[in-house]
Structures are given as C-alpha cells and as structure tokens.
Amino acid sequence: MGAALRRQEDEFTPRQQQVLTAALELLVEQGERLTMTSVARRASCSKETLYKWFGDRDGLLTATVQFQASKVRMPHVDRRRIDAAVLRASIEQFARDLLTTISGKVSVTLNRLAIGHAGADDSPLGDIVLENGPLAIRKRLKPVLDAGRESRLLRFDSSEEAYRSFFGLVVRDVQIRLLLGEAIEMGEVEVARDAARATEQFLRIFGVGQG
C-alpha cells in the first residue's frame, strides 16, 4: 500500500469531486472510450481545467479511481471474544459485502479499466483497484479469522491462505464472467444465497468440529 494508492477524499476540492463523479459516470456508461471532451461537457468545465488539474488523460483516470477508492470507508471490526454463531454471522456478512462489491457496476467498470491498462503501460491502476477491493475486505476479515482460530473454532496455518480460499468460494467464476460481459443477475437474494453457501463450505473446510 504505497502512499499514492490511498488518497484522502479531501484532497479533491468539491468542484474537482464533481468532475470526477462525472468522469466515473461516463466510465460506467461508455467504458474506456470516454473522451476528455465528453468529461468536460458532462462536468460543465473546460478541457483546459481538466489538464491543469489532472495533467493528462491518464491522470484523470487515475484520480477517478483514487476518488472512488477514497469513498469506500471500512468500519473496522475487531472482536476478541467470539462464539460459533457470531463467527458464522461475521463471515457470512463479509461474503455478502465481497459479492456485493465485485458485482456492482462501478467495480466491474474500474476493474475493466485497470485490466485494460495493465497490459500496456505500468500505470498504478491495477494496484489501486486491488488495494481498494479484495484486499480491503481481507484486512477487515483477518482479525475475525484470527479470533476464530484463537477460540478454537477455526483451524488454518496462514490466515492469508484461508482468506484466499474464502475469496474463491465466494466469488467463484462470477467476477470473470461479469468482466467478460455476461449479464448475471446478482440481486440481494442471489448474494445472500451465495454468501450462505460459501460460508457453509468455508466452515466445512476450516471449521473445527461439526462447524
């Protein structure tokens, strides 16, 4: 997590945040083919201002991703005492959060953007997106997993490995299919069902006793 990856929300003036919001909208609507002209028009600002504030097109895109990342504030859950029911509920909640995040339009759009840029230049978009999405949830989940282990409810060697299996069980092929353009219905019902199933399976693997 380099200094450039996280950025405080108040580093952007309100007017700049309007511009970035417009850019994000256009990104969701049109993807990578947004033009500087379209952003200026949507945000009712001049192109000169865009270039003064963000340097160039890449700077605008980077700022947009950072802006979005700065909006995601994570409540920090850290439980010392925990029982089986609380543990299960916590894990299931994280599964819901993760699924909701990655199936959202903004997430799909920004992941597409970062993936597109990962091939060519060495822009920091990939790191920012990675840091903002899965890794953020992982940071929050880790103390829960550790507490579960200390309470003899979970068994694993590395919380890193446990989290990655959790990620796989929750996300499965949903993310890649969404990125590839498949129209998958992921409403509250589907998210809840998948989260419950993933939690069940996770506890089957890492839970102690009958889970």
Partner DNA sequence: AACGTACCGTAACGTACGGTACGGATGTTG
Partner DNA sequence: CAACATCCGTACCGTACGTTACGGTACGTT
Residues in the interface with a copy of itself (CB under 8 A) total 39
From DNA, a copy of itself, none, which one binds at residue 35 (CB under 5 to 8 Å depending on kind)? DNA
Out of 11, 47, 116, 150, the only residue in the binding site for a copy of itself (CB under 8 A) is: 116
Closest to DNA by CB, 37 or 105:
37
From DNA, a copy of itself, none, which one binds at residue 49 (CB under 5 to 8 Å depending on kind)? DNA
Least Å from the CB of residue 62 to DNA: 12
What residues from 83 to 142 belong to the interface with DNA (CB under 7 A)?
none
Out of 11, 32, 56, 150, the only residue in the binding site for a copy of itself (CB under 8 A) is: 32
CB burial of residue 79 (10 Å; 0-12, 13-18, 19+): middle
Closest to DNA by CB, 54 or 206:
54
Out of 7, 126, 151, 156, the only residue in the binding site for a copy of itself (CB under 8 A) is: 126
- Enumerate binding residues for DNA (CB under 7 A): 13, 15, 33-37, 40, 43-49, 51-52, 56-57
